[in-house]
């Protein structure tokens, strides 16, 4: 059995299954019994998904299709992710130009507005990624024998 130290999770939420296995705290009764499945068809991108968002759409649909975690019902959520991703890239580029801090008219140094925008967008991205099971913790609740885009990695 695991000890309190083995179960320490400062961020809260579910621990990834891999960590549970490595720590020796995985319990078969709590592991997913049925695989997550959808009609695995790559949806066409909506017309409003363009530029970097479209590039990300193509990358993500291939990844999600390879593990049978995408279908037409997912197009709105995926579009939201891809558009948010493209906006985040734009915010990061603007942040590179402005720097992390800017001076006000009065000479005070404050965090760059681009930093605040980029921070909010990355939080939104992580929330959407969780919906697709693409964060370590959210992936721990998906029971599938297919490797999640990590060809050649050993499974536990």
Residue 77's nearest CA partner among 124, 35, 147, 39 is: 124
pLDDT tens digits, 96-129 = 999 999 999 999 999 999 999 999 999 999 999 9
Specify the DSSP element, H or E, that contains 83: helix 75-98
Report which DSSP code applies to 15: P
Are the beta carbons of 139 and 91 closer than 8 angstroms? no
d(CA 70, CA 43): 8
pLDDT tens digits, 71-97 = 788 889 999 999 999 999 999 999 999
Length of the chain: 156
Are the beta carbons of 18 and 153 closer than 8 angstroms? no
Are the beta carbons of 26 and 16 closer than 8 angstroms? no
Rounded to the nearest 5°, which phi and psi values hold at 99? 85, 170
pTM greater than 0.75: no
pLDDT tens digits, 17-72 = 545 655 667 777 776 666 455 566 788 999 999 999 999 999 999 988 887 778 78
In this predicted structure, the answer to whether residue 153 has a pLDDT above a threshold of 70 is: no
């Amino acid at each position: 059995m695991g000890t309190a130290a083995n179960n320490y999770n400062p961020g809260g939420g579910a621990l990834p299954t891999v960590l549970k296995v490595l720590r020796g705290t995985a319990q078969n009764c709590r592991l997913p019994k049925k695989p997550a499945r959808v009609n695995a068809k790559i949806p066409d991108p909506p017309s409003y998904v363009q530029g970097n968002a479209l590039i990300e759409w193509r990358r993500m649909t291939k990844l999600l299709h390879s593990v049978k975690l995408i279908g037409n019902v997912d197009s709105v959520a995926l579009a939201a992710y891809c558009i948010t991703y493209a906006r985040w890239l734009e915010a990061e580029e603007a942040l590179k130009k402005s720097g992390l801090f800017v001076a006000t008219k009065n000479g005070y140094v404050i965090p760059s507005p681009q930093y605040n925008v980029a921070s909010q967008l990355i939080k939104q991205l992580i929330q959407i990624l969780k919906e697709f099971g693409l964060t370590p913790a959210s992936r721990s609740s998906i029971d599938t024998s297919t490797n999640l885009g990590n060809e050649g990695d050993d499974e536990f």
